[in-house]
Structure 1
Amino acid sequence: MRALSISLLLTAAYIPAAVVAKPAAKPSLPPVVAQMTLDEKVSQLQAAAPAIPRLGVTGYNWWNEGLHGVARAGEATVFPQAIGLAATWDIDLMHSVGDVVATEARAKFNTVGPDKDHGRYLGLTIWSPNINIFRDPRWGRGQETYGEDPHLTGALGTAFVQGLQGSDPLHPKTIASVKHFAVHSGPEAGRHGFDVDSSPYDREATYLPAFRQVVTEGKAQSVMCAYNSLHGVPACASDDLLNIRLRKDWKFNGYVVTDCDAVEDMYAFHFYRETPEENAAEALKAGTDLNCGTYYKHLKTAVEKKLVTQGQLDTAVTRLWDARTKLGLDGVVSPYNTIGADQIHTQAAADLALKAARESIVLLKNDGVLPLKSSAKIAVVGPNADTLEILQANYHGTAIDPVTPLKGLRTALGADRVAYAQGANIAEGVAIPVPETALSTGKDAGLIGEYFDNPDFAGQPVLTRIDKTINLDLYNVVPVKGFENKPYGVRWSGYLAPPAAGDYQLKLYTERCWECDNQHDALTLYIDDKPVISDKGDGKSLSADVRFDDTKPHKIRLEFKHTGQDWGVRLQWQAPADAQIAEAIKAAQTADAVVAFVGLSPDIEGEELSILVPGFDRGDRTDLALPARQEALLKALKATGKPLIVVNLSGGAVALNWAKDNADALLQGWYPGESGGTAIAETLLGQSNPSGRLPVTFYKSVQDLPPFIDYRMDGRTYRYFKGEALYGFGYGLSYTTFSYSDIRLSSASVAAGQGVTVTATVTNTGKVEGDEVAQIYLTPPADAQGLNHSLVGFTRVHLKPGESRQVTFDLTPRDLSTVDRRGKRAETAGTYGLFVGGGQPKPSDTQDKLTLTGSQALPK
């Protein structure tokens, strides 16, 4: 045999090299992966990957969140919700926000110790940003996105990812997982088994461009596949989406993670394959590497049944190990290991949160009442004036020093110049925190809070203070240092004075830890020393109907025993509408102007909520109008004759028809983060000039929209909507004015494959300095699948009164391309319009003409 081997080698030496076919080299596995057993490999493909001590592998939970700040891991800088960040139209700011999120995630990771096991929300793999298109304002999770436009979403998403990951792809500060790939935007009620029927045109023109940009330009190292199916194939099992489009066409070389329990959903809701192991195998073969959940445990059986190969399993594990190595896990040294807890919520981070909040505010209407004079006496009213939840929104960290609108205006004007009344509940059937105006210690507003280091209220309290409202966020934080990792108790006591006699519903809200089995907190509420609510931790007795026959103060006591791992407690109520409005009118009568904080709440719009009341369906909306109780409040305030300023706080667009016609000023403030109240006060007083622009269309009515479940873009967003919007995408006013001149194209005619440069001069023609967001739109020929026009560039400029500056837009062939019915993107010959201004072109606006000659297909 030895001689034969030599003979064969000699013979091969005489064959021309071009004829010899060399066998493909089998990729070598990382040494750690090569030593793993099948069970160990399978365990590493699940989000809660256990330690393997014999190999020096630490336990690591891949699940962390950083949508607008490090979330669910205790105190962190809380920026405006993503939709508010989008309203800034500020690419540099988005990069800076991403960098702060990464720094604070690193600080929390390093505090545990790089060589230690890391649990959920303490890792370096950030499941953000959400770059789905906010195609329909009814979608409750739309607040997590960057709006309805692919270009704006792609640009902001790319900047945020680059901020999260840093400049060195071999040593990322964190890894971003862009989500949810693809064509995912509600309804929430059916999301686990929803099958999307979308056209090739809509996918290429709307649903995929932002993902492409964030992957190809932003170099995102992870992508999260969605719950839904596309034409009968679950996204997490779609070879076309993951292996072909993502990895082959876009050259993505990172890892894919599922949305949580998406593989189980394939079996339980999509009925995709008959057995658990077949569904797990289909996801793995399609290119899904990591399962959020435990359903990949079935991969062991899948390997044994030869549904997948060891090589396919090894590919997924290797991709994850590449990410772990780059991040500096398992003993690998990272340049970010020195980031410590002192880098959480630095002054620079707090300043950035305030800057983001300022830039996110959109001035929709102003008849001259704004800015207010610093000597003004105002009435602050409305359900969103003084609640923590409207600052933090969803997927949030715990704000260290949150400033509500009421607090911000009291600080700016002085408490003696600000009257306050809650005025209304958010919506019929929805409780809201009991306001400070109804609570008293007997001397001061609020209740006396006694904080004990045990749940039995034994001994002396560690801390006694006055809490103006009972609204504690306890998501991985404690109210008193030293209470960490042990049970404790809080007792609040004082008086409750109802604004009028009548029927009230009192409610104790606690956000239950959904993975803590029966380890929940216990609460008891006493009125006049009688228990009216007593919940032992089962969540069955958290509300009570109470009738007050008078308005005298009644003794109140709330005992909170934190014996589980629940995430907060609030004392809430539903009060009679007439009584709340009467309080608001009384406050307004003493003021020079009224500022009404209305809108929505993360309690009624968000991810897969349980709420089902008129206008709201499990996190989504069925109506765009401002809830009736709030609109009644605005009408009553208008009737006082005082100037009415309306500030709408919401994640989605609200049909503010009455406010547009009747309010003296109208602002959109989103969910503005920890410094929202400061930013709003500065804006109302003219200390900050509003400069936000709408990232979504505000429609007049839900009747203007196609059915929510229809994923066709026809009739949706500014790009395809043929009706008249209440306020259009890109819209926003300022306390100054701007003009555009000298708009020039580098060439009036370009051949396919070439770009064009457009310049314009922007001038501040008003009396105060301010920021303008210059926008450029492309209007295609008439046969472009019903497309009106599209944003192809934007830039933010700061100008002093009388100052001018040239803005430049370098448009690429992709910017100038269109998509045909088959979903093919190309530059196509024709005459196109180009408009530069502070918003979308109107029918009466003159657009510069660009002639494009020839045609050229573009890569997918």
Structure 2
Amino acid sequence: MTLDEKAHQLGHTAPAIPRLGIPQYNWWNEGLHGVARAGIATVFPQAIGMAASWDAPLLHQVGDTIATEFRAKHLERRHPDGGSDFYRGLTVWSPNINIFRDPRWGRGQETYGEDPYLSGRLGIAFITGLQGDDPKFLKTVATSKHFAVHSGPESNRHREDVHPSAHDLEDTYLPAFRATVTEGKVESVMCVYNAVDGVPGCANSFLMEETLRRSWGFKGYVVSDCGAAANIYREDALHYTKTAAEGVAVGFKAGMDLICGDYRNEMTTDPENIVAAVKTGQLPEAVVDRSLLRLFEARVRLGLFDPQPPFADITAKDYDTPEHRALSRKMAEASMVLLKNKGDLLPIKGTPKTIAVIGPNADSFDALVGNYYGTPSKPVTVLDGIRARYPGARILHVQGTGLIGAAEVAVPDDMLCVDAACATRGLKVEFFKGPDLQGSVTETSTQPNARFDWLGERETSARWTGTLVAPESGEYGFRFASENGYRIWVGDKLVIDEWGVGDAPSILSGKITLEKGRHYPLRVEGFQRGQRSSQQLLWSPPSADEGHAIAAAKQADLVVFVGGLSARIEGEEMKVKAPGFAGGDRTSLDLPASQQKLLQRIHATGKPLVLVLMNGSALGVNWADAHVPAIVEAWYPGGDGGHAVAGLLAGDFSPAGRLPVTFYKSADQLPAFTDYRMAGRTYRYFTGAPLYPFGHGLSYTRFRYSAPTLSSARVGADGKVAVSVEVGNVGARDGDEVVQLYVSHPGAAGAPVRALERFERLHLKKGETRRVRFTLDARALSVVDAKGVRRLVPGRVDLWIGGGQPVARPGLPAAAGVAAQLELRAGAVLPR
């Protein structure tokens, strides 16, 4: 290759080199919980939900299934020369194994929670599923991200300089990455936007060379987060170097191999800066060659140059199959966490004659899919699931409130006119080829409203124009429900601009005061990429209230309130204007005020009430915990999530999900969001009283633990000890139990309060007893000192084996379990 050809191969949009038989390849693919942004695909529960299953074998199966769908999507749109486009390749930028250290982080939903051990085991399961077990070929390439210290705030991620202590780095931030490299054999790692100890993550030789490659033996390639390479030199970012050429040179020499560009930089992948760096002597061409070898090795192992591509049993139609959707539902069921069940309200007894399903997430597509999602062909909302499960019941559905404000409803057709005099109802619409309103007009017509639906490969934009008649005087809110960007003008005012860059926007709305009877010029613009679209003009008129929801509740035998959040208000660098939210992150853990108010009014009706939460992070639902008899945490449960929620309510399965994060009572219990010290954070270092502890989850049956058996009560320098315990289902029905083993080191400096070191989810029939065996090793029994050295420290070690942590509070008894104790008789220093 020429130097210019080499430079272009080091960006995520690698062009073809026909003279060398190299097809084009786009490295950018998202697979957080299913194939994302490539049209129809099976959508599994969001990552935080799958973590709540505490089921590594099931997550491995999900990873393998997602890899099959990636192969199918690659075949569906593969170039004749074997090349691939955006979101059609086989290099998957998942999983996200950052530690969810603070529930205010909007992207925490993408992680496996707050615990290093749980995150590592689940990360390994997902990675080995994605990459497969073929001795020669990789099914896909998985990517552990974002290496290594990254968890918000979103608003400052391109400028943040994080300074973790040596203890916290080794004890909390690195273990999951180490596990996915040394045990999971992950083929790719993504470096972070922010700086660590003054050095940008993608120019940090301590992280990428000394730690990742020398200490852990990583053999794959490192890709930058999208735009992170530019952060090295951008004046409005980290500005670590003065020039772009110097910036990319520093990055590649430190161990970065592939640059992902970003939208803010017009998708640049810096080939011209790489060439300049080599020609000016700042970047040895041998370093460029080193990165190229790593990248092409991955492409070769994927079979992209093989005349007979591997995995020939996979066809271009092997996605969104009934079997894959069934697996999504199974994972959704496994992820459900029963937080509270006073008086055994659940499961529902018999068949209620009338069920009121109320709340902003009851019939919400957004609440199913979370962020970084694909397109389920047959999405099942909670409302859909309850209707399907109780076909003979009368189901009353009222939204009642929006997520963060008044309920938004479709603008009525009879409020819209083509002309200013309102002689003709409807709106004029122009459809454009392409998403920028600049291409050729493909259709011009009159439609009743600003709305349309499709299911099929398409990329388009549209403009609706006409007249809006205000039915009453007062302040209105406007939004365009869309999978992509939108803008709305009323009169001469741009009410809302959420054009975005192509990913799902927030639910940003705009307000304007209108006068009854006046005619206002209206213009709505929106664009859409992908295979699914359901776009509609929404408003919240001045008289919108909660009366219909209260009336429905009064008629019902059972009320199911479905609330929480969605990835339109928590996520990655978002525009959200509401109390409690900032830039995709949160400033409060409370249930949004509009939902809290309605929930309290419904409770006051005295009707049996179940609260179903759909969210990607912890909520401080203190009032609900004190007043609502049953609370279910459903997360963002995927395309078939509504069936899973309905099945839990009906008792079709016994819930066994466990919290992968602590549910605090308030953000006031936490240190500052910008503080990366772990003191006072997560169950490992939090000494206050949580609302619901990490590992918590109730069941419809009961379990009993026998006294544990240790292979030895005195352990030597190898740290090895076997622990076993009998677990019995002593309840009235079959069910799963999640057996959790925690280790504590009383009085040892640097040791957490307790730390999860082993777990297993097992199914037990009514009356069945099974012995569970765990083997602990030196790493499981080690602690990290202030200098970041991991070591065995002689002394007492306490063990707890149970269905949760040994903690209790009024109204929340401790989980069933048993304690044991051993003595470490020798010290030892462990390798990094």
Q: Determine if the TM-score, normalized by the shorter chain, exceeds 0.5.
A: yes
Taking the aligned partners of 2:140 and 2:482, their CA distance within structure 1 comes to 32
Question: Is the 1:532–1:544 contact (alpha carbons within 8 Å) kept by the matching residues of 2?
Answer: no
In structure 1, the partner of 2:823 is 851
Residue 440 and residue 757 in structure 1: after superposition, are their counterparts in 2 closer, same or farther (change >3 A)?
A: farther
1:567 is displaced (CA, Å) by 8.4
In structure 1, the partner of 2:512 is 545
In structure 2, the partner of 1:4 is none
In structure 2, the partner of 1:210 is 176
In structure 2, the partner of 1:58 is 23
Match 1:386 to one of 350, 357, 363:
363
Question: Is the 1:504–1:548 contact (alpha carbons within 8 Å) kept by the matching residues of 2?
Answer: no
In structure 2, the partner of 1:325 is 300
Match 2:477 to one of 480, 505, 515:
505
In structure 2, the partner of 1:198 is 164
Question: Is the 2:30–2:92 contact (alpha carbons within 8 Å) kept by the matching residues of 1?
Answer: yes
**1:94-113 superposed Cα distances (whole Å, 9 cap, x missing partner):** 10111111111111111223
Residue 504 and residue 328 in structure 1: after superposition, are their counterparts in 2 closer, same or farther (change >3 A)?
A: same
Residue 454 and residue 821 in structure 1: after superposition, are their counterparts in 2 closer, same or farther (change >3 A)?
A: closer
Residue 120 and residue 432 in structure 1: after superposition, are their counterparts in 2 closer, same or farther (change >3 A)?
A: farther
The secondary structure found in structure 1 opposite 2:706 is strand
In structure 2, the partner of 1:335 is 310
Residue 308 and residue 731 in structure 1: after superposition, are their counterparts in 2 closer, same or farther (change >3 A)?
A: same
1:817 is displaced (CA, Å) by 1.1
1:138 matched to 2:113: no
Question: Is the 1:422–1:580 contact (alpha carbons within 8 Å) kept by the matching residues of 2?
Answer: no
The secondary structure found in structure 2 opposite 1:343 is coil
Taking the aligned partners of 1:829 and 1:440, their CA distance within structure 2 comes to 78
**1:339-398 superposed Cα distances (whole Å, 9 cap, x missing partner):** 222210111110110001111110010112111134212111011111111111110001
1:572 is displaced (CA, Å) by 5.5
1:558 is displaced (CA, Å) by 9.8
In structure 1, the partner of 2:504 is none
Match 1:239 to one of 190, 205, 212:
205
In structure 1, the partner of 2:436 is none
Question: Is the 1:752–1:829 contact (alpha carbons within 8 Å) kept by the matching residues of 2?
Answer: no
**1:224-264 superposed Cα distances (whole Å, 9 cap, x missing partner):** 00111111011111111111110111110000000011111
In structure 1, the partner of 2:266 is none
In structure 2, the partner of 1:369 is 345
The secondary structure found in structure 2 opposite 1:658 is helix
1:613 matched to 2:578: yes
Residue 751 and residue 190 in structure 1: after superposition, are their counterparts in 2 closer, same or farther (change >3 A)?
A: same
1:285 matched to 2:257: no
Question: Is the 1:182–1:207 contact (alpha carbons within 8 Å) kept by the matching residues of 2?
Answer: yes
**1:806-851 superposed Cα distances (whole Å, 9 cap, x missing partner):** 1111112111111111101112211100110000123898621111
Question: Is the 1:510–1:567 contact (alpha carbons within 8 Å) kept by the matching residues of 2?
Answer: no
1:769 matched to 2:741: no
Question: Is the 2:802–2:818 contact (alpha carbons within 8 Å) kept by the matching residues of 1?
Answer: no
Match 2:118 to one of 152, 172, 191:
152
Residue 336 and residue 524 in structure 1: after superposition, are their counterparts in 2 closer, same or farther (change >3 A)?
A: farther
Alignment of 1:393-432 (within 5 A): 393-414=370-391, 417-428=394-405
Residue 557 and residue 360 in structure 1: after superposition, are their counterparts in 2 closer, same or farther (change >3 A)?
A: farther
Taking the aligned partners of 1:807 and 1:728, their CA distance within structure 2 comes to 23
Taking the aligned partners of 1:127 and 1:538, their CA distance within structure 2 comes to 25
Taking the aligned partners of 2:428 and 2:130, their CA distance within structure 1 comes to 40
Taking the aligned partners of 2:529 and 2:65, their CA distance within structure 1 comes to 31
In structure 2, the partner of 1:67 is 32
In structure 1, the partner of 2:131 is 165
Residue 166 and residue 547 in structure 1: after superposition, are their counterparts in 2 closer, same or farther (change >3 A)?
A: same
Q: Paired residues, what number?
A: 791
**1:685-712 superposed Cα distances (whole Å, 9 cap, x missing partner):** 1112111100000000111000001000
1:273 matched to 2:246: no
1:270 is displaced (CA, Å) by 1.3
Taking the aligned partners of 1:709 and 1:671, their CA distance within structure 2 comes to 26
Residue 505 and residue 488 in structure 1: after superposition, are their counterparts in 2 closer, same or farther (change >3 A)?
A: closer
Unaligned runs of 5+ in 2: 262-268, 416-424, 434-440, 502-507, 809-813
Residue 246 and residue 339 in structure 1: after superposition, are their counterparts in 2 closer, same or farther (change >3 A)?
A: same
1:742 is displaced (CA, Å) by 3.3
The secondary structure found in structure 1 opposite 2:718 is coil
Match 2:6 to one of 19, 41, 61:
41
The secondary structure found in structure 2 opposite 1:761 is strand
In structure 1, the partner of 2:264 is none
Of 746-755 and 311-320, more deviation after overlay is shown by 746-755
1:491 is displaced (CA, Å) by 9.0
Taking the aligned partners of 2:463 and 2:135, their CA distance within structure 1 comes to 47
In structure 2, the partner of 1:10 is none
The secondary structure found in structure 2 opposite 1:795 is strand
Taking the aligned partners of 1:590 and 1:471, their CA distance within structure 2 comes to 34
Alignment of 1:517-556 (within 5 A): 543=510, 545=512
Give the CA RMSD over aligned residues. 3.5
**1:162-220 superposed Cα distances (whole Å, 9 cap, x missing partner):** 00000136300000011000110000000011100110100000000000000111000
Q: TM-score, normalised by structure 1?
A: 0.86
Question: Is the 1:80–1:671 contact (alpha carbons within 8 Å) kept by the matching residues of 2?
Answer: yes
Residue 683 and residue 75 in structure 1: after superposition, are their counterparts in 2 closer, same or farther (change >3 A)?
A: same
- Bigger Rg, which one: 1
Taking the aligned partners of 1:471 and 1:265, their CA distance within structure 2 comes to 39
The secondary structure found in structure 2 opposite 1:263 is helix
In structure 2, the partner of 1:832 is 797
Q: Which residue identity is paired with 1:765?
A: V
In structure 2, the partner of 1:307 is 282
Of 292-301 and 133-142, more deviation after overlay is shown by 292-301
Q: Which residue identity is paired with 1:614?
A: P
In structure 2, the partner of 1:259 is 225
1:729 matched to 2:694: yes
Taking the aligned partners of 2:183 and 2:632, their CA distance within structure 1 comes to 34
In structure 2, the partner of 1:12 is none
Residue 859 and residue 692 in structure 1: after superposition, are their counterparts in 2 closer, same or farther (change >3 A)?
A: same
1:153 is displaced (CA, Å) by 0.2
In structure 1, the partner of 2:599 is 634
Q: Which residue identity is paired with 1:101?
A: I
Of 196-205 and 805-814, more deviation after overlay is shown by 805-814
In structure 2, the partner of 1:581 is 546
Residue 777 and residue 577 in structure 1: after superposition, are their counterparts in 2 closer, same or farther (change >3 A)?
A: farther
In structure 2, the partner of 1:779 is 744
The secondary structure found in structure 1 opposite 2:757 is strand
